[in-house]
Structure 1
Amino acid sequence: MATARKADKPYHHGDLRAALIAAAEAELIGKGIDAFSLRGAARRAGVSHAAPAHHFKDAMALLDALAAAGFARLTATMKEEQAAAGADRKAQLVAAGVGYVRFALDNPELLQLMFGTSRRKSDDPELGRNADAAFSVLVNGVGMIRGRDAFTGEAGWRDVAACWSMVHGYAQLAIAGKMEFVTGLEFTRQRDLIEDLVRRALPEKAPL
């Protein structure tokens, strides 16, 4: 009986998709988005260069999946901070902001992928759902304080924009080393500042 050729054997991997997404993050961190390649991710995952085709049609599809995973992790980090915060409504929003910055500072390359303009606009449904879920944490935080009626007009959305701009802007400036007074500081030493900034972004009374 002839022995089957190795190439004819079915390909096996515990979770090829998850392995490729993890490898893609390592590739992104190691080479940056401009030098990112599907072959490089496959190599890091220890699979053949053809293996990614089982799940991703091209490098951009793999990056979409990585960005989707990033938004899921962002949501989880914000909710983790909220779980440790007090029940006070404003404390919950502040905690979400702290979680946002913590995720960003821990994952600068991933943050750039998630929000950068160097990647084509995606219609990937998982990416859309996960991005919306992360955004909703901030929206719900504002809604708890201002009331859901605030979103019937512009006031609530302006509050969301203020909080989002504050935490995202802080994170980007800190990552770029543009705020010398926080550069190099451990996150625990930045926490009080971030909390204060979120409170400033949403004053007790909404502006007229």
Structure 2
Amino acid sequence: MMKQEGNRPYHHGDLRRALLDAAFQLVAERGVSDFTLREVARQAGVSHNAPYHHFADKAELVVALTIEGFQMLDQALRSAYEQTPGTPLERTLAISGAYLRFAIEHPAAFRLMFRPELRQSSHDAKECDAAVKNAADAAFQILLDGISASQRAGLLRTEQSVEMLALALGSTMHGLTVLFLDSILIKEKPSFSIEEKEQTATQIMHMVAQGLVAQ
């Protein structure tokens, strides 16, 4: 089982939160794999043994970071869907802009979320994988819901399943985001703002969706 919150008091008030924040900072500074639990403890200002009260090893810490990343993504995507005016399809396609913005604002966390090999050494790999999958499924549920609503509104083809359409749109959304992050096939202007990138992502998703709309 993954370790639960301990009862030992710490001056932080919330040791687990302090460790996660420290780890996110190290990931942002050094990359997704170049840090140790000892360095996380030092960054958080606690003893080098303190992380083991919550995480059996670095892999479990990575699992916790990954789950939190997907939870943050979930909030971003749902907010975009709920705040975008227009049809269910327009709201669904707006998710792509929020997905790109999340990756741009949290690049290290975004890359970590899609690096399963970094959490494979966990003591409870099956349980950890299940927890990550649940968090990821929850984050992408809004895409499925939006596609389903678009089908009911007669805006998307119904001969394809919701899952198949989600795969088509989701893979485009993710691939486009990675291309933006790595500056591949993207000729950026010096003043290319996040808002412009969001608009570009949404426009491309509209282009892709044209082949999926109900006739």
Per the normalisation by structure 1, the TM-score is 0.84
Q: CA deviation at 1:129?
A: 2.3
What is the aligned-residue RMSD (CA, Å)? 2.7
Q: CA deviation at 1:117?
A: 4.4
Aligned counterpart in structure 1 of residue 135 of structure 2, from 130, 138, 146: 130
Alignment gaps of 5+ in structure 2: 1-7
Q: CA deviation at 1:168?
A: 0.7
- Alpha carbons of 1:91 and 1:154: their partners in 2 closer, same or farther (altered >3 Å)? closer
1:109-137 Cα shifts (integer Å, max 9, x gaps): 11111112442445325423211111211
Aligned counterpart in structure 1 of residue 169 of structure 2, from 151, 163, 174: 163
- Equivalent position of 1:3 in the other structure: none
Q: Give the percent of matched residue pairs that are identical in Structure 1 and Structure 2.
A: 29
Say whether 1:177 aligns with 2:183.
yes
Contact kept in structure 1, 2:98 and 2:198, CA below 8 Å: no
* Structure exhibiting the larger radius of gyration computed from Cα positions: 1
- Alpha carbons of 1:137 and 1:10: their partners in 2 closer, same or farther (altered >3 Å)? closer
- Equivalent position of 1:139 in the other structure: 144
- Alpha carbons of 1:51 and 1:114: their partners in 2 closer, same or farther (altered >3 Å)? same
Say whether 1:201 aligns with 2:200.
no
Contact kept in structure 2, 1:78 and 1:96, CA below 8 Å: yes
Contact kept in structure 2, 1:182 and 1:190, CA below 8 Å: no
**How many residues are treated as equivalent by the alignment?**
199
Residues of 2 paired with 1:95 and 1:206: CA distance? Answer: 16
Q: CA deviation at 1:14?
A: 0.8
1:156-197 Cα shifts (integer Å, max 9, x gaps): 322111111111111101111113323652111122211111
Per the normalisation by structure 2, the TM-score is 0.82
Name the structure, 1 or 2, with higher relative contact order (CA <8 Å, separation 6+).
2
- Equivalent position of 1:39 in the other structure: 38
Residues of 1 paired with 2:208 and 2:17: CA distance? Answer: 38
Alignment gaps of 5+ in structure 1: 1-8
Residues of 1 paired with 2:103 and 2:61: CA distance? Answer: 21
Contact kept in structure 2, 1:177 and 1:183, CA below 8 Å: no
Residues of 2 paired with 1:35 and 1:183: CA distance? Answer: 31
Q: CA deviation at 1:11?
A: 4.0
- Alpha carbons of 1:153 and 1:90: their partners in 2 closer, same or farther (altered >3 Å)? closer
Contact kept in structure 1, 2:37 and 2:57, CA below 8 Å: yes
- Equivalent position of 2:18 in the other structure: 19
- Equivalent position of 1:88 in the other structure: 87
Q: Residues 89-108 of structure 1: matches in 2 within 5 Å? A: 89-108=88-107
Contact kept in structure 2, 1:23 and 1:44, CA below 8 Å: yes
Q: CA deviation at 1:95?
A: 2.0
SS state at 2:210 partner: coil
